[in-house]
Amino acid sequence: MSTKRGILVLDFGGQYTQLIARRIRELQVFSAILPCTASSEEIRAHQPVGIVLSGGPSSVYDKDAPRCDQKALDLGVPVLGICYGMQWLARTLGGKVERAERREYGPACLRIGRGSKLFTGLPPTLKVWESHGDHVVRVPAGFHITGQTDNAVAAIEDAEGHFFGVEFHPEVNHTECGAEILRNFVFEICGAKANWNRAAFVAETVESIRRQTEGARAICALSGGVDSTVAAVLVNQAMGDRLTNIFVDTGLLRRNEFPETLAMLRDRLHLSVIGVDASERFLAKLRGVSDPEEKRRIIGNEFIAVFAAEEKKLVALAKAEPVKFLVQGTLYPDVIESVSIKGPSAVIKSHHNVGGLPQDMPFRLIEPLRDLFKDEVRQIGRELGLPEEILVKQPFPGPGLAVRLLGEVTPERLATVRAADAIVTEEIRRAGLYEKTWQSFAVLLPIHSVGVMGDGRTYGNVIAVRVVESLDAMTADWTRLPMQVLERISSRVVNEVPGVNRVVYDITSKPPSTIEWE
């Protein structure tokens, strides 16, 4: 089984890259994504049985167009290029790519030619989804055209059955038989085995952590959320009492979150957890800081400082060897939005999980969930027997309420956003929407607005309410809440939270907005 002998996706920055990996995992074959800049050694280390080159926004003839290590084509495993990936493959192997006279976006009709391995068993015409402005005008020597649209060469293969290219996107739902095309590539062409499932993932991950950490100790940064809890339980299975979990009260948590979470982790999950009240030092460091990225950076640094201090105490107490590893529940969307490589997805925010960590950190990271999406992590949590109430918990950002109050973090402003947040959560739960929405929370804005309360003029705070639906946080849409729910939230917030005289509802999707306001 497993994370080896799967399909590797090399990312040229395409918007659907993560979908490709996901579709392959849905076929029960492991699939990981590496930036196209990965070296052939890194690629080889994954021992893939096949490689997919993703789409991307560039043109292959651009001066700084992203490219792969060409040795990736010599690993002896089949390669499928999709859109930009096909153009790069064709050009690199001696073909010619040009700007298309007519760009193709959206649906197109694919006519399948004879003798294609990739399209085995499929009907002669398919409706496919295109999104490109370039096309292959001359195929490399030894290749033949296996599919065409009205405008362009839409699919190519080489005679040896080694290289494949499709101009359209088999990974999107709009492409007819897209799953069958990927299935043909993964099973018939690459010979992958359908053996990636939850139990296998748990077994393999536990075994690999055991090997990686042999004899050493680790600490785990617990947040009480799904991701870090699942990561801790996985690592706990591998390391037992060589793992110490640390749950930090940053002073930026929600109402009652610290004591309740601590009790749940200790009493229900039987994890060994040290609870650290570091709220004063976090708040002191954040005093006077309004810039969102600066807040994140300070919080990331402070987390590491707290862990380093706890590690020293641990070592002194147990006279044990130093702690070498830090466990985090980083997920794939955290990674993809925080990594900047030429071409692929630019940095959107530095998530404290990933981007905000200092360079000279005294720990090596263990991130067992790095290749997964949230719903996959929830499934792994179920496999591990975690209580459902943890698994359905909405995500909460590492920097906590600091990024949900815009502007300076002060105890008073924290109290305001915390009280408003508690009301939003209560009302969303009462309406039976907590588990149906991805996230629901309050944001304190850095402005004041005029109001009237009693008979007097007020100049008070504004709370924005954000409720979104999403599958993986990469995209999200605002929830069309029932009017009565909005009404209750609004009236309770202005009545119960001192200093707030206005409530607004955020009706933007991601993109163009992000889910959090900072």
Per annotation, catalytic residue among 46, 135, 169, 351: 169
Residue 326 is a binding residue for ligand XMP (CB under 6 A): no
Select from 35, 50, 381, 397 the one that contacts ligand XMP (CB under 6 A).
397
Do the bridges between strand 243-249 and strand 323-327 make them parallel or antiparallel, or are there none, so unpaired?
unpaired
461 lies in the site for ligand XMP, by CB under 6 A: no
Task: Assess 510 for contact with ligand XMP (CB under 6 A).
Answer: yes
Between CA 37 and CA 49 the distance in angstroms is: 19
Question: Contacting ligand XMP (CB under 6 A), which of 302, 395, 409, 423?
Answer: 395
If the CB atoms of residues 187 and 517 are measured against ligand XMP, the closer one turns out to be: 517
Q: Is there a contact between 329 and 371 (Cβ–Cβ < 8 Å)?
A: no
- Which amino acid is it at 43? I
Q: x-or-dash pattern for ligand XMP, window 273-302, by CB under 6 A?
A: -----------------------x------
- Tell me whether residue 448 is one of the annotated catalytic residues: no
Question: In this complex, which beta carbon is closest to ligand XMP, that of residue 296 or of residue 502?
Answer: 296
Q: Which is nearer to ligand XMP, 56 or 395 (CB)?
A: 395
* 3-class DSSP state of 107: strand
Q: Which of 353, 440, 461, 501 binds ligand XMP (CB under 6 A)?
A: 353
- The count of chain residues that interact with ligand XMP, using the rule CB under 6 A, is 16
Residue 85 found at the interface with ligand XMP (CB under 6 A): no
The 419-458 site mask, x for binding ligand XMP (CB under 6 A), equals --------------------x-------------------
- Residue 349 interacts with ligand XMP (CB under 6 A): yes or no: yes
Task: Single out the segment in contact with ligand XMP by CB under 6 A; choices: 127-135, 268-276, 307-315, 397-405.
Answer: 397-405
3 state DSSP class of 377: helix
Residue 83 is a catalytic residue? yes
89 touches 53 (CB < 8 A): yes
Site stretch for ligand XMP (CB under 6 A), options 150-158, 212-220, 345-353, 358-366? 345-353
398 lines the binding site for ligand XMP (CB under 6 A): yes
**How would you write 2-46 as a 3-class SS string?**
CCCCCEEEEECCCCCHHHHHHHHHHCCCCEEEEECCCCHHHHHHC
Would you call 287 exposed, middle or buried from its count of C-beta atoms within 10 A (0-12, 13-18, 19+)? Answer: exposed
Nearer to ligand XMP, 189 or 401 (CB): 401
Q: Applying CB under 6 A, does 252 fall inside the site for ligand XMP?
A: no
Q: Are strands 439-453 and 456-469 parallel, antiparallel or unpaired?
A: antiparallel
Q: Does 514 bind ligand XMP (CB under 6 A)?
A: yes
Residue with Cβ nearer ligand XMP (266 or 510): 510
Site string for ligand XMP, 102-141 (x = CB under 6 A): ----------------------------------------
Examine the residue annotation and report whether 36 is marked as an active-site residue of this protein: no
CB neighbour list of residue 39: distance below 8 Å, 6 or more residues apart: 69
**Choices 55-63, 67-75, 305-313, 351-359 (CB under 6 A): range interacting with ligand XMP:** 351-359
C-alpha span between 140 and 334 (Å, rounded) = 38
Alpha-carbon radius of gyration of the chain = 25
Candidates 19-27, 145-153, 200-208, 349-357: pick the segment binding ligand XMP (CB under 6 A).
349-357
Handedness of CA 67, 73, 77, 80 (dihedral sign): positive
Nearest-approach distance from CB 367 to ligand XMP, in angstroms:
12
Extract the tokens encoding 181. 């095309």
Q: 112 or 402: whose CB is closer to ligand XMP?
A: 402
CA 343, 349, 350, 353 torsion: positive or negative?
Answer: negative
Q: Does 95 bind ligand XMP (CB under 6 A)?
A: no
List all residues 6 or more positions away from 104 whose beta carbon is below 8 Å from its beta carbon: 130, 131, 132, 149, 151, 152, 167
> Distances in Å between the alpha carbon of 484 and those of 427, 481, 487, 490, 502?
10, 8, 5, 10, 17
Which among 171, 257, 310, 376 is annotated as catalytic?
171
**Which residues does residue 249 pair with via DSSP β-bridges, in sequence order?**
277
The residue assigned the tokens 């999950």 is 269
3-state helix, strand, coil split of the chain in percent (to 5) is 35, 25, 40
Q: Would you tell me which residues interact with ligand XMP (CB under 6 A)?
A: 296, 348-349, 351-353, 395, 397-399, 439, 473, 510, 514-516
Which residues are the active-site residues?
A: 83, 169, 171
